């Protein structure tokens, strides 16, 4: 059972792409180097600690008794006050989380549903004016949302009947979808172009139409790209504030960012409860991050590195 | 069954071509229509509105021509907002770009081995931005906030300030500091992805040619990273022009407009004061600034293998 090679660093840090097929050094040598490196990394480690310190401080503040937060901001809590979280939950944080989850899910699904056929069309079909149309869409990548707020305010007033309970959600989901389209079409198109022509031709010889080919050949193959771009859009929509501030007036319909903001207004003097609300909003994201780390990093940086 | 159709005068490829171009329109149309309706049309409408005086309370609009823009030129609050945005762009570029590059390059290998470090730098970016703003608001709180308490504990009470408004000019600097803290990890990740895209053979070839570490850096890493760095610089600049959430959460543009940026001023003018035409003019200024940043980027990268952004 004794292999000729020592356990590779790959299995230690779980990274799959560090090797580049290079020769490994003997174990003792590697360990010596490792120690040297950790010393060299020390400033970096200190900086990293400094970076997470504010978050950790906020986390500690969220379980402190009110007077300790006021008078001993840097001390550890003498007792853990979970009740801050109960108060935060009664302040509708749970409702806001749910609202944001629904809005994000609906928007992302529609973004993909609209973008995939368009990306397929731009990648494979090339109609007259398609290059111009594609550029037209790309122009949307850098547009500040403030440039559309006022006209969209009028559009939404006219579009959705006043007695519809969900008109405020419909008012923000529309722009969320529209602003999500450019990057999604761009990334899916780039992926579709890289799919071998033979694969698509095989499908059309079997008599499949374009929509069918898209659904049963392209989308399954492009699943990593779809996941990447879905994560990017979800993160954006989850965090979006200006549209929500303009279009959502009903307290029960607030998204999480808007809810947190109003929450602070309602609990102005109870910072420990505000911090509990803040941490409640962070924790689901941190869990998601640790589960899907690789996809998330790829998804969030996708826009820049193509 | 088109596969068994005999070859006629109209060739089969012709039919397929016509059909496929019709399908092409049909498949692209929904996305283009939604985009046109929610993005392009409103942008044009904003430009038109900026030539009018229009109070949100009433339906009547009055044509002003360029009067909104001349008013902006004399508006001290607009001046502050513009100056703050410029400060935001400059400080974000000179802090985030080098720091992110340093973290990505010098620490690239270390980050690879200590995943926790990479996560630590990235963590501020994955947190909801309102949550970030609220945590820092408490840290900056003058009386029992973490920062001032720490300074007093370190016997440096003279450095304790009202970070978000006393003196008023300090607020924007504090917000920019938080913004740098939040985004540097994101840009580190972008540059790291760029570094990892450089084929290993390039480094090996350079080493075989006897290049030292710093030579490899100068002749391999820097030229190959140029495009990614420029794209990243564009992202930072455009992000700084659009900046809204952090300012809105931490100070709301106050005290007395001291930390106002274009986006918060536009929002306040439109949806608090109801001066829609004037606010539209501010939005157009933001649009023009974004356009300028993009044009600068295109000019700098022109003639290079750019690919599609």
Distance from CA of A1 to the nearest CA of B (A): 27
Three-state DSSP state, A250? coil
Strand partners, B63: B52
- Of A43-57, A128-142, B92-106, the range with the lowest mean pLDDT is A128-142
Q: What is the pLDDT of residue A6?
A: 38
A295 interfacial to chain B (CB closer than 8 Å): no
Q: What is the pLDDT of residue A4?
A: 40
pLDDT band at A203, cuts 50/70/90? confident
For residue A276 the two structure tokens come to 């509990």
- Report the residue count for chain B: 309
Which regions of chain B does DSSP assign to beta strands (E)?
Answer: 52-54, 61-63
Place of tokens 């200006």: A242
What pLDDT, in 10s, does the model give residues A91-112?
A: 788 899 999 999 999 999 999 9
**ipTM computed for the complex:** 0.84
Q: What is the pLDDT of residue B121?
A: 87
Contacts (Cβ under 8 Å, ≥6 apart) of B210: none
| Pick from A267, A53, A70, A75: nearest CA to B143 | A70
Q: What is the pLDDT of residue B76?
A: 95
Q: Which of B31, B49, B67 is the last residue of a domain?
A: B49
Neighbours of B99 (CB within 10 A): 17
Give the residue extent of every domain in chain A. Answer: 23-84, 87-305
Is B54 a member of any domain? Answer: no
Instruction: Supply the angle between the helices A42-61 and B170-196 in degrees, to the nearest 10.
Output: 130
| Pick from B14, B74, B126: nearest CA to A235 | B126
DSSP letter string, B177-208? HHHHHHHHHHHHHHHHHHHHTS-HHHHHHHHH
Neighbours of A259 (CB within 10 A): 27
Q: State whether A20 and B200 contact (CB < 8 Å).
A: yes
Main-chain dihedrals φ then ψ at residue B62, nearest 5 degrees:
-120, 130
Q: What is the pLDDT of residue B36?
A: 93
Is B290 a member of any domain? Answer: yes
- CATH topology for A87-305? MetI-like fold (1.10.3720)
Q: State whether A271 and B107 contact (CB < 8 Å).
A: no
Is B67 a member of any domain? Answer: no
Cβ-Cβ contacts under 8 Å, A296 against chain B: 126
Three-state DSSP state, A288? helix
- Whether residue B129 is found in the same domain as residue B204: yes
Chain A interface mutation, best of B37, B119, B138, highest count of A Cβ atoms under 10 Å: B138
Neighbours of A14 (CB within 10 A): 9
Q: State whether A304 and B235 contact (CB < 8 Å).
A: yes
Cβ-Cβ contacts under 8 Å, B307 against chain A: 306
B121 interfacial to chain A (CB closer than 8 Å): yes
Q: What is the pLDDT of residue B289?
A: 95
CATH classification at residue B96: 1.10.3720.10
Is B24 a member of any domain? Answer: yes
Chain B residue with the nearest C-alpha to that of A19: B200
Contact A262, A254 (CB under 8 A): yes
Contact A178, B38 (CB under 8 A): yes
Distance from CA of B17 to the nearest CA of A (A): 9
- Whether residue B90 is found in the same domain as residue B232: yes
SS (H, E, C) A104-134: HHHHHHHHHHHHHHHHHHHHHHCCCCHHHHH
pLDDT at A174 over 80: yes
Q: What is the pLDDT of residue B278?
A: 94
pLDDT band at A305, cuts 50/70/90? low
Peptide bond into B255 cis (omega under 30): yes
pLDDT at A306 over 80: no
Distances (CA, A) of B298 to A116, A130, B211, B227: 28, 22, 33, 11
Classify A108 in phi/psi space as left (phi over 0), alpha (psi -120 to 50) or beta.
alpha
Peptide bond into B167 cis (omega under 30): yes
Alpha carbon B164 to chain centroid distance? 23
Weakly modelled stretches of chain B, pLDDT under 70: 1-20, 106-114, 303-309
- Whether residue B225 is found in the same domain as residue B279: yes
Is B306 a member of any domain? Answer: no
Q: Is the dihedral of CA A61, A236, B124, B178 positive or negative?
A: negative
- Whether residue B40 is found in the same domain as residue B122: no
Nearest to B129 among A45, A70, A257 (CB): A257
pLDDT band at A3, cuts 50/70/90? very low
Q: State whether B249 and A261 contact (CB < 8 Å).
A: yes
Q: How many CA atoms lie within 13 A of B259 on its CB side?
A: 27
Is B95 a member of any domain? Answer: yes
- Whether residue B10 is found in the same domain as residue B158: no
Q: Which domain holds residue B27?
A: 2-49
Contacts (Cβ under 8 Å, ≥6 apart) of A48: B116, B117, B120, B121
Contact A69, A59 (CB under 8 A): no
- Of A132-136, A147-151, A273-277, the range with the lowest mean pLDDT is A132-136
Q: Is the dihedral of CA B206, B96, A15, A184 positive or negative?
A: negative
Q: What is the pLDDT of residue B113?
A: 61
Distance, CA of A58 to CA of A63 (rounded, Å): 9
What pLDDT, in 10s, does the model give residues B33-50?
A: 999 999 999 999 999 999
A40 interfacial to chain B (CB closer than 8 Å): yes
Distance, CA of A227 to CA of A205 (rounded, Å): 29
pTM score > 0.90 for this model? Answer: no
B145 interfacial to chain A (CB closer than 8 Å): yes
Contacts (Cβ under 8 Å, ≥6 apart) of B186: A300, A301, B122, B125
Torsion over CA of B184, B187, B189 and B190, rounded to 10 degrees?
Answer: 180
Place of tokens 């770009």: B97
pLDDT band at A232, cuts 50/70/90? confident
- Whether residue B38 is found in the same domain as residue B140: no
Nearest to B231 among A73, A126, A304 (CB): A304
Nearest to A146 among B31, B131, B286 (CB): B286
Distance, CA of A300 to CA of A229 (rounded, Å): 8
Three-state DSSP state, B53? strand
Mean pLDDT for chain A overall = 81
Main-chain dihedrals φ then ψ at residue B166, nearest 5 degrees:
-135, 100
Interface subset of B 159-198, CB within 8 angstroms of A = 181, 185-186, 189-190, 193-194, 196-197
What pLDDT, in 10s, does the model give residues B107-151?
A: 566 555 667 788 888 888 888 889 999 999 989 988 888 888 888
B41 interfacial to chain A (CB closer than 8 Å): yes
**How many domains, in total, are found in chain B?**
2
């Amino acid at each position: 059972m004794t292999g000729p090679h020592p356990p590779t660093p790959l299995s230690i840090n779980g990274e799959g792409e560090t090797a580049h097929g290079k020769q490994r050094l003997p174990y003792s040598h590697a360990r010596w180097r490792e120690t040297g490196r950790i010393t060299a990394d020390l400033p970096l480690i200190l900086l990293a600690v400094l970076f997470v310190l504010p978050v950790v401080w906020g986390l500690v503040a969220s379980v402190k008794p009110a007077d300790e937060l006021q008078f001993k901001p840097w001390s550890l809590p003498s007792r853990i006050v979970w009740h801050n979280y109960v108060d935060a939950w009664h302040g509708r944080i749970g409702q806001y989380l749910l609202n944001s989850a629904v809005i994000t899910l609906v928007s992302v699904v529609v973004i993909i549903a609209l973008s995939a056929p368009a990306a397929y069309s731009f990648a494979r079909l090339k109609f007259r004016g398609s290059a111009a149309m594609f550029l037209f869409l790309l122009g949307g990548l850098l547009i500040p949302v403030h440039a559309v707020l006022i006209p969209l305010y009028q559009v939404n007033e006219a579009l959705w009947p006043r007695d519809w309970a969900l008109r405020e959600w419909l008012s923000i989901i529309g722009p969320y979808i529209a602003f999500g389209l450019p990057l999604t079409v761009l990334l899916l198109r780039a992926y579709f172009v890289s799919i071998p022509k033979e694969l698509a031709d095989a499908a059309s010889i079997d008599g499949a139409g374009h929509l069918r080919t898209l659904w049963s050949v392209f989308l399954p193959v492009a699943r990593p790209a779809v996941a990447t771009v879905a994560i990017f859009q979800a993160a954006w929509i989850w965090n979006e504030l200006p549209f929500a501030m303009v279009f959502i007036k009903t307290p029960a319909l607030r998204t999480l960012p808007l809810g947190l903001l109003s929450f602070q207004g309602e609990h102005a003097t109870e910072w420990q409860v505000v911090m509990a609300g803040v941490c409640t909003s962070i924790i689901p994201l941190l869990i998601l991050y640790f589960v899907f780390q690789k996809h998330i990093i790829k998804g969030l940086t996708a826009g820049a590195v193509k | 069954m088109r596969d068994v159709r005999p070859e006629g005068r109209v060739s089969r490829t012709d039919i397929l071509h016509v059909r496929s171009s019709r399908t092409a329109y049909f498949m692209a149309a929904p996305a283009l229509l939604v985009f046109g309706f929610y993005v392009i049309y409103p942008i044009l409408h904003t430009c038109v509105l900026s030539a009018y005086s229009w109070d949100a309370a009433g339906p009547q609009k009055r044509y002003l021509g360029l009067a909104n823009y001349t008013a902006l030129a004399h508006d001290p609050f607009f001046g502050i907002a513009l100056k703050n945005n410029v400060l935001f762009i400059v400080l974000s570029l000179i802090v985030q770009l080098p720091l992110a590059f340093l973290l990505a390059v010098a620490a690239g290998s270390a980050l690879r081995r200590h995943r926790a470090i990479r996560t630590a730098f990235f963590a501020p970016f994955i947190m909801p931005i309102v949550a970030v703003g609220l945590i820092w608001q408490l840290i900056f709180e003058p009386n029992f906030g973490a920062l001032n308490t720490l300074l007093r504990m370190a016997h440096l009470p003279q450095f304790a300030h009202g970070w978000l408004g006393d003196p008023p000019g300090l607020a924007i600097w504090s917000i920019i500091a938080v913004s740098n803290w939040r985004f540097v990890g994101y840009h580190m990740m972008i540059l790291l992805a760029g570094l990892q895209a450089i084929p290993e053979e390039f480094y090996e070839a350079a080493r075989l040619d006897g290049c030292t570490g710093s030579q490899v850096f100068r002749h391999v890493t820097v030229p190959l990273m140029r495009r990614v760095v420029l794209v990243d610089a564009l992202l930072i600049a455009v992000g700084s022009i659009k900046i809204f959430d952090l300012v809105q959460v931490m100070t709301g543009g106050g005290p007395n407009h001291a930390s106002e940026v274009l986006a918060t001023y536009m929002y306040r003018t439109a949806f608090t004061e109801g001066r829609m035409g004037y606010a539209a003019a501010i939005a157009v200024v933001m649009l023009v600034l974004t356009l300028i940043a993009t044009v600068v980027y295109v000019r700098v990268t022109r003639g290079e293998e750019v690919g599609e952004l």
